[in-house]
A and B are shown apart, each in its own frame.
Chain A
Amino acid sequence: MSRELSNLVDLVARARAGDAGAFEALFGSLQAGIYSFIRGQVREAELAADLTQQTFVRAWESLPRLRQEGAFVGWLHRIASNLVRDEVKSGHARLEVAASDVLGDPPGVDLAPGPEEQVASQGLRTAVWEALDGLPAEQRSAVIMHHMEGMSVTEIAQAMNCRPGTVMSRLARAREALRRKLSSYVEDSDAGM
């Protein structure tokens, strides 16, 4: 899940200049990550979708204030985090997440369609989200950003507004915990590759 940085920078610059098509392309490549990031923090699918929408709208409105295009992804996540925090503060959301809630998405979301291999990976998906469920919120967010969104440690640090060292230790501790929770998959030689 690598992103060509130069392409991103170009899209951000164009979106900042008002190019809605470029912004749509940004949305396209980042929406699943942001949505997962938010879903990792709030309980309801609808709320997460609403917050995802608000995140992008606010990003569009505030883009002119973003000087460094390269910081876009982290900056976008900070917007999302702030929105989540506001929702939590106003009592609209709680921070626990149940894997079934995450995966019990409204119809239309493609979780695991198609052939039989997908059935196996559906089980894996559930297992992974359940494992994430058991993590402290900050570790969970870091894992989602790193593994599901392909963000670099620097970007995650920008998103979480902390030092890269802190990101590292969150990722490391999460990795240990996940290794234990997912041991049956980890030991299985076909797991997830």
Chain B
Amino acid sequence: MARACRVPRPAALLPLRVAAVALVLSFTSLASAESAWKDIWNSGSVAKQLSVEGDLQTRALIGQREQSATAAVRAANGKLRLDYRAGRRKWSLIDDGSKLIRLSPERRMAFAFPRPSLATDSALAQRNYVARAVGEAEVAGRPVKIVEVSRPHGPIAWRVWLDREYGFALKRERYNVDGRLVSGTEYTTIRFGVPVSSDVFEIPKDWKLVDENGGGRRYRVSDLSKQVGFEVATPRYLPQGYVLQGGYVERRGRHGRVAAELRYTDGLRLLSISQRMKGEGDDDRRGGSRHRGGRGEGRGGERGAGERGGRRGRGGGERGGGRERGGGRDGWGFGPPQGEAMTVIDRGSEKALRYFSKERVIVIVGDLPRDELVRVATSLD
């Protein structure tokens, strides 16, 4: 049977071609995305294994000012030491694997903080962000591969220059959620595999060590409530992609008031929500922190107090009754109470907001748009 063979005309083939090319491209980019992510995760683990000696320059945008410093770096066995220098200021930071220790040479004192180790949830990060290799370059005399990470359809969040041989990050740029470059670090010299003696990561014997912070133990919210002695409020609103990473006990201020800290993550960025019950000096505040340059009356701040008493008694606290009926909130009850302006402090790589609810003092820190921060804060009420 003779049937005219319908030879598809080139024009009709076009959609098919485009589809084919798109398919191929998407596979490639998928592959490249996968390898980009692999490089990223690898750079983190490699940094803990390599022994490294080098110098870097770092700069950070803090508020409106840019701070910069140089640092001599030594790393080995998962420990890291940075000896900073900025103008005439000198200080050092040691990560000994379990704590962060800040050394102050003029005072011959060392301050230790907990350094909570966040289990890397790569699946979460990969759900919320996209990574792609964007090119090649040279840093500190070594060839590198450049990888960019961003939220899908969002501005760039990180750019990292990874050493081709070791995968180690030789240069980094961090952008905040508004797309602004907020920190950058670049190695100027680096040597791998050099022996680093372990006493480099130790505090000089005759220095005073101040270790006031808690152990950084992670709790579930219900257990955290028991630890802090009040019911820990959780936000009803969370920015997209964020999940709870854990709860921590913190001590605040001169009198060591206990506060509960909740940490959320979207895989790469962090959101910290800290709360404590209002106390003396807090009662008369409503809404957000005051503007600088004073609108509203000034108030004596939290008064300093004497030493902490030794004993802790028993007894629980309950929540006071009554919800505040706020006008000015949006239809779903979020947003600041009517007439109250909220002041958000922009520190560059994060923003901070202090909010006084009916019974709590709440501080939110995160790299979020301003109104998201406000929504999270007010959803804790």
Contacts and interface: CB of A to CB of B under 8 A. Distances in A.
Contacts of A50: 311, 313
B317 A54 contact: no
Nearest to B312: A53
A58 B315 CA distance: 7
Contacts of B283: 18
B280 A54 contact: no
Interface residues of B, number: 9
Contact of A53 (B279, B280, B313, B317): B313
Interface string A17-52: 010110000000000000000000000000001100
B314 interface: yes
Contacts of A110: none
B313 A57 contact: yes
Contacts of A49: 311
A61 interface: yes
A61 B320 CA distance: 11
Interface in B257-295: 279-280, 283
Interface in B303-352: 309, 311, 313-315, 317
B314 A53 contact: no
Contacts of A58: 315
B322 to A, nearest CB: 13
Q: Is the interface of B mostly helix, strand, loop or mixed?
A: loop
A61 B315 contact: yes
B315 A53 contact: no
Contacts of A18: 283
Interface in A126-145: none
Nearest to B316: A61
B317 A20 contact: no
**A: interface residue count bin:** 10 to 19
Given A18-B283, A20-B280, A54 B309 contact: no
Interface string A57-71: 110010000000000
B309 A57 contact: no
Contacts of A61: 315, 317
A54 B313 CA distance: 6
Contacts of B314: 54
B363 to A, nearest CB: 22
A155 B204 CA distance: 62
A57 B315 contact: yes
Nearest to B317: A61
A61 B313 CA distance: 13
A54 B314 CA distance: 7
Nearest to B318: A61
B307 to A, nearest CB: 13
A57 B316 CA distance: 10
A58 B317 CA distance: 10
Contacts of A57: 313, 315
Nearest to B279: A20
A111 B158 CA distance: 67
Highest count of chain A CB atoms <10 Å: which of B283, B311, B313: B313
Contacts of B280: 20-21
B105 to A, nearest CB: 38
A49 B312 CA distance: 12
Nearest to B311: A50
A49 B313 CA distance: 11
B266 to A, nearest CB: 39
Highest count of chain A CB atoms <10 Å: which of B283, B314, B315: B315
A142 B279 CA distance: 37
Contacts of A21: 280
A160 B235 CA distance: 47
A53 B315 CA distance: 12
Contacts of B317: 61
Nearest to A51: B313
A53 to B, nearest CB: 6
A21 B280 CA distance: 9
A94 to B, nearest CB: 21
Interface in A79-100: none
B277 to A, nearest CB: 12
A61 B317 CA distance: 8
Nearest to B309: A53
Interface string B220-250: 0000000000000000000000000000000
Contacts of B313: 50, 53-54, 57
A57 B311 CA distance: 12
A188 to B, nearest CB: 41
7 tightest A-B contacts by CB? A54-B313, A20-B280, A57-B313, A50-B311, A53-B313, A57-B315, A53-B311
Given A50-B311, A53-B311, A54-B314, 15 more contacts: A18-B283, A20-B279, A20-B280, A21-B280, A49-B311, A50-B313, A53-B309, A53-B313, A54-B313, A54-B315, A57-B313, A57-B315, A58-B315, A61-B315, A61-B317
9 contacts: A18-B283, A20-B279, A49-B311, A50-B311, A53-B311, A54-B313, A57-B313, A57-B315, A58-B315
